[in-house]
Structure 1
Amino acid sequence: MTDVRRTELEQLIARVALGDRDAFDQIYEATSAKLHAVCLSVLKDRPEAEETLQEVYIRIWQNASRYAANGLSPMTWLITIARNRAIDRLRARSSRPATAPAEAAECVPCDAPGPEHAAIHAQQRRLLDECLAQLAAPQAHAVRAVYLEGVTYADLAKREGMPINTVRSWLRRSLLRLKDCVSQ
């Protein structure tokens, strides 16, 4: 930090000590990025660092009269306030009582499908089975093999003794008929 910049910051802090809001705005503009980075490096959480930064500037406003221009960098004083406030917040975060394991387990949502999901799934499955029944048996078998069992087009073509493009066309027409059936 240059001597000119150091002197400017010291003068701004002295004006803040007298309640000068313009000086406070200038200190904020000049130092907020650096002090935010300090808070963020300690807390590792952007929203919490932003809240802490607000607290830092409240402390600067309240304690500006305690700053002593002693030849050391005023940024050191400001960074110390930011670092200490961030550490205080970090300690407060770690000293919060942890939720008991049984209580924590109750807060975790279950992955298993609920009864509503199971009913909807069963209804969709019934509808699909009804629509597949309207297709010719070989086409319904081909759709089931490819889309429900994971058989490749090439394997199905070999198994049926047909060219692969014929199987693709067959499946495409079958899917269009299924789509029409399901949308009714």
Structure 2
Amino acid sequence: MRSADAAAASPAEPRGPDLEALLTRVAGGDQEAFGEVYDRVSGPVLGMVRGILRDRAQSEEVAQEVLIEVWRCAARFRADKGRAMTWVMMLAHRRAVDRVRAVQAEAEREHKAALLDHTSAYDEVTEQVESRWERQRVRRCMGALTKLQRESVTLAYYRGLTYREIAQLLSLPLGTVKTRMRDGLIRLRDCLGVSV
């Protein structure tokens, strides 16, 4: 008979059937086999999940979800595609990463909601008053332009014509239209108090 010291010094040998065989039994609904699977993989699963999540409570919750998934999805395991422990750890990794993403998405939603709470409400009346005041200022400043400048600026900005189209419409050289526009815009800028 071996002593306890000799047993502790030698590497642990797997007890009972291998994990692949246990998963096959679990796929058939064998609860006893699942108990053995649970005992073998729960520690490594929790370790991996905790390494990703860094939160004990969430790690335990996700590890439990993984083990439930192993119970429900054991039939999906294919021994010809890889080892059982690799499959279980892949499930654990995916579930932990999904949790990280969900937590980040929730934090972003809460942050956006907090920003919305701090933004001032849209005031339609104030907007209309400011808009009307701006229009009056622009009209007053447009009235300060010469007739030729006002005509060129109006055609360009209110009708959307290009300098070339304005020149053709007014039968003027392109350079003349450009000069009128430049001078008119300078006067508008000064009148409106816009800094460049």
TM-score by length of 1: 0.51
Q: For residue 104 of structure 2, what is the aligned residue in structure 1?
A: 94
Instruction: Supply the distance in 1 between the matched residues of 2:56 and 2:13 (Cα, whole angstroms).
Output: 32
Q: Shift of the alpha carbon at 1:98?
A: 2.3
**Distance in 2 (alpha carbons) for counterparts of 1:82 and 1:28:** 13
Q: Describe the superposition over 1:5-58 as per-residue Cα deviations: whole angstroms up to 9, x where unpaired.
A: 8x6100100010001111111011011110000100111101000000111011
Question: Judging changes above 3 Å, is the alpha-carbon distance between structure 1 residues 66 and 102 closer, same or farther for their aligned structure 2 residues?
Answer: closer
Q: Distance in 2 between matches of 1:52 and 1:23?
A: 22
Match of 1:60 in 2: 70
Letter in 2 for 1:98: E
Greater Rg by CA: 2
- Residue 32 to residue 4, structure 1, CA distance change in 2 (3 Å): closer
Counterpart of 2:24 in structure 1 is 14
Q: Which residue of 2 aligns with 1:28?
A: 38
Partner SS state of residue 80, structure 2:
coil
What SS class does the counterpart of residue 12 from structure 1 fall into?
Answer: helix
Aligned length, in residue pairs: 103
- Describe the shift of the 1:69–1:45 C-alpha distance in structure 2 as closer, same or farther (beyond 3 A): same
Cα distance in 2 for partners of 1:78, 1:8 equals 14
Tell me how far apart the structure 2 counterparts of residues 47 and 19 of structure 1 sit (CA, whole Å): 29
1:98 alignment partner, SS class: helix
Instruction: Give the residue type in structure 1 aligned to 2:57.
Output: P
Q: What is the letter of the counterpart of residue 37 of structure 2?
A: I
Cα displacement (A) at 1:3: 10
Q: Give 1:103 shift.
A: 6.8
Structure-2 separation of matches of 1:4 and 1:58: 23
Tell me how large the CA RMSD over aligned residues is.
2.5
Which residue type is aligned with residue 35 of structure 2? Answer: D
Name the SS of the counterpart of 1:59 in structure 2.
helix
Mind listing any 5+ residue stretches in structure 2 that lack a counterpart? Answer: 1-11, 119-196
- 1:66 partner amino acid: R
Distance in 1 (CA, whole Å) between partners of 2:44 and 2:59 is: 12
* Structure 2 CA distance for partners of 1:10 and 1:3, relative to 1, 3 Å: farther
Cα distance in 1 between the residues matched to 2:115 and 2:57: 27
Q: Which has the higher contact order (CA 8 A, sep 6+)?
A: 1
Say if 2:44 is the partner of 1:41: no
Q: Offset of 1:74 from its aligned partner?
A: 1.1
Deviations 1:136-173 (A, max 9, x none): xxxxxxxxxxxxxxxxxxxxxxxxxxxxxxxxxxxxxx
In the alignment, residue 82 of structure 1 is paired with which amino acid? A
